Structure 1
Amino acid sequence: MPVERVLPTPEAADLLELVRTMVDRELAPRVAADEERAAFPRDLFTQLGRAGLLGLPYPAAFGGGDQPYEVYLQVVEELARGWLAVGLGLSVHTLACFPIAEYGDTEQREALLGDLIGGELLGAYCLSEADSGSDAAAMATAATPTDEGYLVNGTKAWTTHGGVADFYTLFARTGGPGSGARGISCLHVPASTSGVAAAPPERKMGMSASPTASVRFDAARVGKEALIGQEGQGFSIAMAALDCGRLGIAACAVGVAQAAMDLAVGYARERRQFGRPIGEFQGVGFLLADMATQVEAARELYLAAARRRDSGQPFGVQAAMAKLFASDTAMRATTDAVQVLGGAGYTRDHPAERLMREAKVLQIVEGTNQIQRLVIGRYLSGHD
């Protein structure tokens, strides 16, 4: 059921209506089959790009949409409502473009940003490693300075779009052993670079159509122009990007929760037991009421954080809160949707079980929900 929204401009309302139409006509008819086949929908990302949706929050001067995060995130939500792999894919691509857009120099922005957000290219974000997930400062991938640029060696893990991306936003150690967070730098690495290769995709619980793979850098050489920002600035760039990325995950989570709620409400209206629709029974009605309240609250939480970002206010803690609450809401809503559908919800004939499997990853990516609680707790104790 369409969600009533208050949007800042008529243009934003038209944009969201375009996305809803795309979801209903292009995404919904194929999500089940493509997820079953683990088929990556690259053609849909090309469509998104040509519709101007891969660069929504970035400057129009470089081909972006000049949209506030308040609008961009609602587009992410709508896409995730139809197909999480696509909504999350847009969020990841936006995350991969963030360092050049925010920290790149004039030459880099003019040379690269237009192509990155123009619609034909797809990005990936290489931060995590097998032994450094939440502890990103412990990464081992090294970018050794050379006369021409950098020699990169190492492996990144859990890379969304690994193996299908056109470019990787890579965080690697340019400082020596023991340099910690201060020794990390950010590099732009085209996927065609010699020495860059992806492992086979991970076999995941959900989101099979979105490839997640380790990416190996084996004596991969990049020029000096690959460095984004200053040497040693990479960790702060990564953390700033993740604040934005967490809002993207929050929006994805609300989209999944909304889809689960729509499914449960529709079923509860149609399914009859004891002579009346099951939604009229208090046990089911209360589940639906809690679901609707939590989805609405999660949406308002990510929108409030987005408005803080749009107005130039600090928003990192609010992003952590939004990601935490929205992804927990998605897990709860999808679980309850399966319960409302009963035996039907446990079968693959209905999308409820797929939504439940997909919701779980949202409590893990862009910092686990335990890390979000740590961020919020540190802020409350005055140690942010």
Structure 2
Amino acid sequence: MSDFDLYRPSEEHGMLRASVRSLVEAKIAPFAAAVDEEARFPQEALEALVANDLHAVHVPEEFGGAGADALATVIVIEEVARACVSSSLIPAVNKLGSLPVMLAGSAELKQRYLRPLARGEAMFSYCLSEPEAGSDAAGMRTRAVRDGDHWVLDGVKRWITNAGVSEFYTVMAVTDPEARSRGISAFVVEKSDPGVSFGAPERKLGIKGSPTREVYFDGVRIPAERMIGAEGTGFATAMRTLDHTRVTIAAQALGVAQGAFDYAKGYVRERRQFGRPVADFQGVQFMLADMAMKIEAARQLTYAAAAKSERGDGDLTFQGAAAKCFASDVAMEVTTDAVQLLGGYGYTRDYPVERMMRDAKITQIYEGTNQVQRVVMARNLP
């Protein structure tokens, strides 16, 4: 298979899409506006996803999971994001938080943490960013000090998605301050561990249904066996994780772009001005054509990156960054155009496209800003 071959979804992937879309339209979409308006966690979405084994489809079958491949995971996230980006962060962040355990964790860690995740008994979050270490993640200050058979963690993590809701947290901490990125190790911390606490929810522009909070570690003492991989390998594990999970952000972006396009297309076909549907005007037709073209380009790039993620291809770092960057830029363009197509109505909360536009913005920022993605791509040119 050449580097430019695209991954073609199978019949099973098509059936999965139809099944997820039906579920989303029945159980998640009706609550999307209220979740945003009330800035509350989408409990209805969590219950629906868990009941249908879609909350963490990436978990291997040997740990009780669905064993979905990377493309199937992308399709689930895409279809949920088409209606509610906040809800799509449930399967997306469960993968982000647990993937370090899957990539580098011991057999015991996998058994202990992947099984309850697969059963829907717990969610998993990812703690990398800090108040003074965002894009420069290697500059983190959270410390982990060895004390016999335990490690003691102290520090603060910021911008942690689903913080306070998740039971498990993959935490990156400095174990050797002199070694910079090679002195960072990864740990699993549980919400119930003494010394773990959370800040107030951030007041965000979008994804208001997904709580974003600081996580505080005040003398958190955990068993040494909760280290993920060998000491000093945490930063490398974190970067490997992001190579895979940036594809899930591309999927979110793709989903919200598709949702906004679908709504705007239906609206302009029904809305009449000057005695005919707005969709009859060539200027509007050109806008719709450009929106559809960009969405399809983003979809092909995202699916190709998902295939590379599944195969572990050597150029995944470039392809994952490219998919995330391109798809999120497309999402911002398409959702903004959708607001424009609805005119004044698009600017009100009575219609979903203004929420979609606000939600789309975060896909250009988290898991590495798109400026950082371009740095990553430039350093890993194929």
Which of these residues, 7, 10, 20, is aligned with residue 9 of structure 2? 7
Query: Over aligned residues, Cα RMSD in angstroms?
Result: 1.4
Per the normalisation by structure 2, the TM-score is: 0.95
Supply the distance in 2 between the matched residues of 1:361 and 1:183 (Cα, whole angstroms): 30
Farther-moved stretch of structure 1 (45-54 vs 58-67): 45-54
Q: Hey, what does 2:281 align to over in structure 1?
A: 281
Supply the distance in 1 between the matched residues of 2:312 and 2:212 (Cα, whole angstroms): 33
Q: Hey, what does 1:218 align to over in structure 2?
A: 218
The reply to whether residue 259 of structure 1 matches residue 276 of structure 2 is: no
**Letter aligned with residue 200 of structure 1:** A
Cα deviations by residue, 1:86-131 (Å, 9 ceiling, x for unpaired): 1123111111110111211122222322112221211111000010
Kindly tell me: are residues 85 and 287 of structure 1, through their superposed partners in 2, closer, same or farther at Cα, counting changes over 3 Å?
same
Q: Hey, what does 2:58 align to over in structure 1?
A: 57
The reply to whether residue 238 of structure 1 matches residue 238 of structure 2 is: yes
Q: Residues 88 and 249 of structure 1 are in contact (CA less than 8 Å); yes or no, is this contact kept in structure 2?
A: no
**Letter aligned with residue 270 of structure 2:** E
The reply to whether residue 24 of structure 1 matches residue 22 of structure 2 is: no
The reply to whether residue 145 of structure 1 matches residue 146 of structure 2 is: yes
Farther-moved stretch of structure 1 (360-369 vs 59-68): 59-68
Q: Hey, what does 1:364 align to over in structure 2?
A: 365
Secondary structure at the counterpart of residue 151 of structure 1: strand
Q: Residues 88 and 248 of structure 1 are in contact (CA less than 8 Å); yes or no, is this contact kept in structure 2?
A: no
Q: Hey, what does 2:296 align to over in structure 1?
A: 296
Kindly tell me: are residues 341 and 43 of structure 1, through their superposed partners in 2, closer, same or farther at Cα, counting changes over 3 Å?
closer
Farther-moved stretch of structure 1 (167-176 vs 37-46): 37-46
Kindly tell me: are residues 235 and 134 of structure 1, through their superposed partners in 2, closer, same or farther at Cα, counting changes over 3 Å?
same
Secondary structure at the counterpart of residue 30 of structure 1: helix
The reply to whether residue 248 of structure 1 matches residue 248 of structure 2 is: yes
Q: Residues 97 and 117 of structure 1 are in contact (CA less than 8 Å); yes or no, is this contact kept in structure 2?
A: no
**Letter aligned with residue 301 of structure 2:** L
Per the normalisation by structure 1, the TM-score is: 0.95
Supply the distance in 2 between the matched residues of 1:131 and 1:9 (Cα, whole angstroms): 47
Q: Hey, what does 2:161 align to over in structure 1?
A: 160
Supply the distance in 2 between the matched residues of 1:248 and 1:181 (Cα, whole angstroms): 25
Q: Residues 168 and 188 of structure 1 are in contact (CA less than 8 Å); yes or no, is this contact kept in structure 2?
A: yes
Supply the distance in 2 between the matched residues of 1:205 and 1:354 (Cα, whole angstroms): 9
The reply to whether residue 33 of structure 1 matches residue 30 of structure 2 is: no
- Aligned residue pairs total 375
- CA drift of 1:9 comes to 4.1
- CA drift of 1:247 comes to 0.4
Q: How does 1:169-180 map to 2 (within 5 A)?
A: 169-176=170-177, 178-180=178-180
- CA drift of 1:14 comes to 3.0
Supply the distance in 2 between the matched residues of 1:356 and 1:344 (Cα, whole angstroms): 14
Q: Residues 87 and 252 of structure 1 are in contact (CA less than 8 Å); yes or no, is this contact kept in structure 2?
A: yes
Cα deviations by residue, 1:261-303 (Å, 9 ceiling, x for unpaired): 0111011101111111111111111111100000011011010
Secondary structure at the counterpart of residue 179 of structure 1: helix
Secondary structure at the counterpart of residue 366 of structure 1: coil
Q: In percent, how many aligned pairs have the same letter?
A: 46
Cα deviations by residue, 1:314-367 (Å, 9 ceiling, x for unpaired): 211100000000000000001100110011111111111111111111100000
Supply the distance in 2 between the matched residues of 1:165 and 1:107 (Cα, whole angstroms): 20
Supply the distance in 2 between the matched residues of 1:25 and 1:171 (Cα, whole angstroms): 38
Secondary structure at the counterpart of residue 82 of structure 1: coil
Supply the distance in 2 between the matched residues of 1:263 and 1:50 (Cα, whole angstroms): 28
Q: Residues 150 and 224 of structure 1 are in contact (CA less than 8 Å); yes or no, is this contact kept in structure 2?
A: yes
Cα deviations by residue, 1:155-185 (Å, 9 ceiling, x for unpaired): 0000001111111110011113x32101100
Q: Residues 71 and 307 of structure 2 are in contact (CA less than 8 Å); yes or no, is this contact kept in structure 1?
A: yes
Query: Unpaired segments of 5 or more residues in structure 2?
Result: 1-6
Supply the distance in 1 between the matched residues of 2:111 and 2:338 (Cα, whole angstroms): 48
Secondary structure at the counterpart of residue 299 of structure 1: helix
Supply the distance in 1 between the matched residues of 2:30 and 2:44 (Cα, whole angstroms): 14
Q: Residues 194 and 221 of structure 1 are in contact (CA less than 8 Å); yes or no, is this contact kept in structure 2?
A: yes
Cα deviations by residue, 1:14-68 (Å, 9 ceiling, x for unpaired): 3322211111001111110121011102342233223222332231011111221
Supply the distance in 2 between the matched residues of 1:46 and 1:27 (Cα, whole angstroms): 10
Secondary structure at the counterpart of residue 170 of structure 1: strand
Supply the distance in 2 between the matched residues of 1:264 and 1:41 (Cα, whole angstroms): 25
Q: Residues 126 and 161 of structure 2 are in contact (CA less than 8 Å); yes or no, is this contact kept in structure 1?
A: yes
